[in-house]
Amino acid sequence: MNAKLRLAACLLAVVAVMSTGCTSLLGGSSTPAVTAPKAGGASTAASATATPTASVPATPVVDNTFASEPRPKPADPILTSGSWGYHAGVDWDDAGSGKQINQTAETNERYKLIKEQYKRLLATLKDSKGVKRLVSAAGGDTDEIKYSVVTIDAMDLVAPHTPWVTATLRATFPTEDGLKAVDVFVYRAKTSKGLNNTPYVSGTSVGYVDTDGSIKNPTHPNFPR
């Protein structure tokens, strides 16, 4: 082979090598060669792609503070002072076998509880000095207050240390700028002794009464203790 032919062959070889390299860089379909495993050891490729061992999650920390101790008394203020005692638990009627609660009896008893608590909480609201102070602070006359119960629910079948009565009580009063209201959110908690009759205050809203009955842009003052 003469010098010109040898030069041409070399140039063709260089072009072929460069073409193969470019195909790999541009995402071509050429597959890289797999290195054979060395004797007595694992393949480098296999060790790089091996699935890592799943880590065992740490045991969660469980707070058992109240498991053997009674919960602390609610920190919320009381709607009115005094000793309220406890409401006797309901003796639910059984349905046939005595294993299932009679749904009719449950509904009737719930209605009785709501009706009873409605009257009691309404009377308590009228006697609340804290509500009168909020009305006075909002520019109202305590002699012109109208009291009502906006929402209420009562259920005896609740676990201890949970609310068995929840209600929104309202004191509406006129001012120079329009009708205002004080909404008081109250609850009664079930304890290990039974249904606590003490009305606790979980929050308040004060502001002008909107056309739909809600309080417009309310403030949330602390309930006077």
Q: Which tens digit of pLDDT belongs to each residue from 90-101? A: 665 544 455 556
Domain count, the chain: 1
The Cα 95–Cα 100 span in angstroms is: 6
Interval 24-58: pLDDT, tens: 333 343 444 434 444 444 444 444 444 444 444 44
The Cα 95–Cα 104 span in angstroms is: 10
149 in Cβ contact with 96 (< 8 Å): no
Assigned domain for 143 exists: yes
Report pLDDT for 73.
Answer: 62
Q: Which domain holds residue 121?
A: 94-219
Assigned domain for 149 exists: yes
113 in Cβ contact with 156 (< 8 Å): yes
Report how far Cα 113 is from the mean position of its chain's Cα atoms. Answer: 27
Confidence band of 141 (pLDDT split at 50, 70, 90): very high
Assigned domain for 127 exists: yes
The Cα 153–Cα 59 span in angstroms is: 39
The Cα 36–Cα 116 span in angstroms is: 85
Assigned domain for 44 exists: no
The Cα 39–Cα 55 span in angstroms is: 31
The two most distant CA atoms of the chain are separated, in Å, by 124
Over pLDDT 90: what percentage of the chain? 47
Handedness of CA 9, 10, 13, 19 (dihedral sign): negative
Assigned domain for 82 exists: no
- pTM score, whole prediction: 0.65
